Chain A
Amino acid sequence: MSTTDSSLVIETLNGDREAFGRLVEKYERRIFNLAFRICGDYEDAMDVTQTVFVKVFDRLETFDQSRKFFSWLYRMGINESLNQVKRQSRIVHGECDPPSHAPGPDQRIIREESDGLVQAALKRLGEDQRVVIILRHFVDLSYIQIGDVLGIPDKTVKSRLYSARQRMKEILTGAG
């Protein structure tokens, strides 16, 4: 059974539903967390994740297979999340909405104060800085991978990340 993204993409294009299911399983959690950290809202993160995978499926034939699949996917996740933030301006100006689902253990944890402070600080960053912090610290991408997703040199990734961390530090220490 093949496991690489390239193989799964090809099998999905050939009509294999199981292959598409495996792509969803592999990336659903990461796209959901990326969306949650950008949007700051559980329901919006669900909508964004769903929309991203529908678009992936619809546009898979146009995907350049010389590129990394995850870069294409994350790029789509970022764009869709930022669009959702623009659509839901209440999220930009308001507080994080708590999940409306019955809280499970993980959902209870996200209400903890430290997490709330980090999320609030993230929302005060500009888009570019917020995205680079999320890709580095919440999606665990390397500098090169972030550069690949955003289409910028890794040198720019570093300078953007370091500025973002400095801004986060100022906000979290009350200096910003």
Chain B
Amino acid sequence: MSIDEFYIRLMNEQIDGIISDGAAKKLAAHLMSDPEAERYYEELKDTVRAIDSAVEIEPPPELKTRIFDSVYGRPREEPAAQAAGGRTFWRSFAPVFAAGVAAGFILFAAIRPLTDRTPEDNGYGATIGATGSEKASAKAFDTFGVRGTVLPVFENGSLTVTIELASDVEASVFIEFEGGASFESIRSNEGAAYQMEVDEKSLLLVHHGEADYAIRFRSVETAAVVLRIFTDGKTVAAMRFTAGG
């Protein structure tokens, strides 16, 4: 096979629908001039069509019951370092213990200066009204080399979360949205280098360099948005916004 690897990459990008307009034109011109490349491309498309035509298999209806029987019909697996007795105690008193820890944490957080807080406890929640225009106060963060602010604004049924990232460190912004929220658009300043993946319930933005982003969510009635910023597997900031309702 004497087809240039460059064109094989473009063929795959074309099949996956991620090719740029310029590259698509370049590929089309090449296919017109090289019958071998054209034949290769047709075979590649046939191969992908054959793979995609394979049907999804329905799991048996009893599988869920089997899973539940396995999970809840037997004692839970004990972590190696934990004694069985200690585990039983923990499971019995976990809700009480968790409530105590939460109450202690809230008290501790309230009396401690913000600058002393670690990334794990810089959670920030905001509830924004249902009518007119309203915005919460901006939240700043500066941890693990990632600096910036987050500002949620609710206006005319849309929740816009403006994120300013002023750092050369690669950071990821992971947003999950629920209620009536759906992703509408993202704007960034010119030259911003980022990659983004969006599905029905979440958005992942991988950011490089300094940039501002305005991410807009459409809200039918109420919208809850959980936002986490992290770098190198470490949480920089965790926030939750509720809009409308």
Q: Which residue of A lies closest to B47 (CB)?
A: A169
Docked CA distance A139–B55 (Å) = 12
Q: Is B71 located at the chain interface by the 8 A CB criterion?
A: yes
Are B54 and A50 in touch, CB under 8 angstroms? Answer: no
Interface size counted on chain B using CB atoms at 8 A: 50
Are B70 and A49 in touch, CB under 8 angstroms? Answer: no
Are B204 and A28 in touch, CB under 8 angstroms? Answer: no
Are A32 and B59 in touch, CB under 8 angstroms? Answer: yes
Q: Which residue of B lies closest to A154 (CB)?
A: B195
Are A172 and B201 in touch, CB under 8 angstroms? Answer: no
Known pairs A49-B63, A161-B12; list 8 more (Cβ under 8 Å): A7-B178, A45-B57, A59-B77, A110-B55, A115-B54, A137-B51, A162-B8, A169-B47
Docked CA distance A44–B36 (Å) = 42
Are B56 and A33 in touch, CB under 8 angstroms? Answer: yes
* Binary A-proximity of B35-74 (CB < 8 A = 1, otherwise 0): 0000000011011101111111111100110111011100
Interface size counted on chain A using CB atoms at 8 A: 60
Q: Is A20 located at the chain interface by the 8 A CB criterion?
A: yes
Are B58 and A104 in touch, CB under 8 angstroms? Answer: yes
* Binary B-proximity of A68-80 (CB < 8 A = 1, otherwise 0): 1000000000000
Are A115 and B55 in touch, CB under 8 angstroms? Answer: yes
Q: Is B25 located at the chain interface by the 8 A CB criterion?
A: no
* Stretch in B103-111, B122-130, B209-217, B228-236 with 4+ CB within 8 Å of A: B228-236
Q: Is B149 located at the chain interface by the 8 A CB criterion?
A: no
Q: Which residues in B have some Cβ–Cβ distance to A below 8 Å?
A: 8-9, 12, 43-44, 46-48, 50-60, 63-64, 66-68, 70-72, 76-77, 79, 94-95, 98, 174, 176-178, 195, 197, 201-202, 204, 206, 224, 226, 228, 230, 233-235
Q: Which residues in A have some Cβ–Cβ distance to B below 8 Å?
A: 2-7, 14-15, 17, 20-21, 24-25, 28-29, 32-33, 36, 42, 45-46, 49-50, 53-54, 57-59, 61, 64, 66-68, 101, 104, 106-107, 109-110, 114-115, 117-119, 133, 137-138, 142, 144-145, 154, 158, 161-162, 165-166, 168-169, 172-173
Are B230 and A66 in touch, CB under 8 angstroms? Answer: yes
Are B55 and A106 in touch, CB under 8 angstroms? Answer: yes
Q: Which residue of B lies closest to A7 (CB)?
A: B178
Are B76 and A4 in touch, CB under 8 angstroms? Answer: no
Give me the 6 closest cross-chain CB pairs, A-B, nearest first.
A58-B77, A32-B59, A4-B176, A169-B47, A106-B58, A53-B67
Query: With a CB–CB cut-off of 8 A, which chain B residues contact A165?
Result: 12, 44, 47-48
Q: Which residue of B lies closest to A1 (CB)?
A: B178
